[in-house]
Structure 1
Amino acid sequence: MDTVAVKLTGPEDMMPHYGTEDSAGADLRACVDSPVTLAPGERKLIPTGLRMAIPSGYEGQVRPRSGLAVKKGLTVLNTPGTIDADYRGDVMVILINLGREDVVIERGERIAQLIIAPVTRADFQFTDNLEDTARGSGGFGSTGVK
């Protein structure tokens, strides 16, 4: 799979773009008419100006950009956000400001990255018993931190 059909609902410069030849994620841009301010702790849905047809058997993963996270405390709230292959609506990004200062999002600013990845669908089967493992039901740090 090399092609994802993209319909622009905003300007042409909103097309996803890989920053380098070996970038795993294509940049998604903010398609806003005027600057959007996120106060500390605030979250907003930011449009990208895109709709797409992801091929069956794949998904789009919307992930944060590391530079925005480290410099501004801005991240994707439901990371990774999933774009299903049968979704044809507007691609939006849920951003949250985890920093201590207001963050202003400008039109065309790179706000997230999109990864196209294969999907494995499981056949879920009911059972009364599960095979034991050494870990058992331990979770949430039960294996330690070092």
Structure 2
Amino acid sequence: MQTVQICRIAGNEDLILPKKMSTGASGFDLSAAVTEELVLKPGEWKLVPTGISIAMPENLEAQVRPRSGLAFKHGISMLNSPGTIDADYRGEIKVIMVNFGDQPFRVNRGDRIAQLVFQEVAKVHLEQVEELIGTVRGAGGFGHTGV
């Protein structure tokens, strides 16, 4: 188990810290730190604060992901899904929420708006070569094997 430090940004002491909603959950739910109701009209997107910042080891990244219930019930998602939080970022975590639905969607203080999932980051060295090792697939992509 790795330790990730979390800090409430001043003025957000009333919000609950991110938490998993079940023992098998992989994501920590993030809450909206809006100061007044925010309305997302159909087709509109807005940057929504969460009132927290984190510090994690260099071998981790945090991914901000949409909540499936909001997506299914209301057409609410994120424009940059998943959003990546790098290990050296110390600013407030914010969520770019978008309304793909056909009705306005209201976001109130404390609403669960996204989830935070931690992933290990592989140490990679890029090596430039003149030609790549071949495979049966080759450059085939975007449905080349069928439907």
Q: What TM bracket, shorter-length normalisation? A: over 0.9
Pairwise CA distance, 1:14 = 3.5
Structure 1: segments with no counterpart, 5+ residues? none
Distance 2:16 2:33 in 1: 7
Number of aligned residue pairs: give it: 145
Calculate percent identity across the aligned residue pairs: 46
Corresponding residue to 2:140 among 132, 138, 141: 138
Instruction: Report what 1:24 is aligned to.
Output: 26
Please give the secondary structure, in 2, of the residue aligned with 1:93.
Answer: strand
The 5-angstrom pairing of residues 96-107 of structure 1 reads: 96-107=98-109
Please give the secondary structure, in 2, of the residue aligned with 1:130.
Answer: coil
Please give the secondary structure, in 2, of the residue aligned with 1:44.
Answer: strand
Counterpart residue type for residue 99 of structure 1 = G
Instruction: Report what 2:51 is aligned to.
Output: 49
Runs ≥4 in structure 1, deviation > 3 angstroms? none
| 2:9 paired with 1:5 | no
Indicate conservation of the 8 Å contact 1:14/1:31, yes or no: no
Indicate conservation of the 8 Å contact 1:48/1:90, yes or no: yes
Please give the secondary structure, in 2, of the residue aligned with 1:28.
Answer: strand
Indicate conservation of the 8 Å contact 1:37/1:105, yes or no: yes
Counterpart residue type for residue 107 of structure 2 = I
Please give the secondary structure, in 1, of the residue aligned with 2:15.
Answer: helix
Measured against aligned partners, the alpha-carbon deviations of 1:58-98 in whole angstroms (never above 9, x if no partner) come to: 01011110000000000121111111111000100111111
TM-score (norm 2): 0.94
Measured against aligned partners, the alpha-carbon deviations of 1:79-129 in whole angstroms (never above 9, x if no partner) come to: 111111110001001111111111111110000000111110210011110
Distance 1:2 1:12 in 2: 26
Indicate conservation of the 8 Å contact 1:38/1:102, yes or no: yes
Distance 1:130 1:102 in 2: 50
Counterpart residue type for residue 84 of structure 1 = D
Counterpart residue type for residue 135 of structure 1 = R
Distance 1:64 1:117 in 2: 16
Structure 2: segments with no counterpart, 5+ residues? none
Distance 2:42 2:68 in 1: 18
TM-score (norm 1): 0.95
Measured against aligned partners, the alpha-carbon deviations of 1:118-146 in whole angstroms (never above 9, x if no partner) come to: 1102100111101111111111222222x
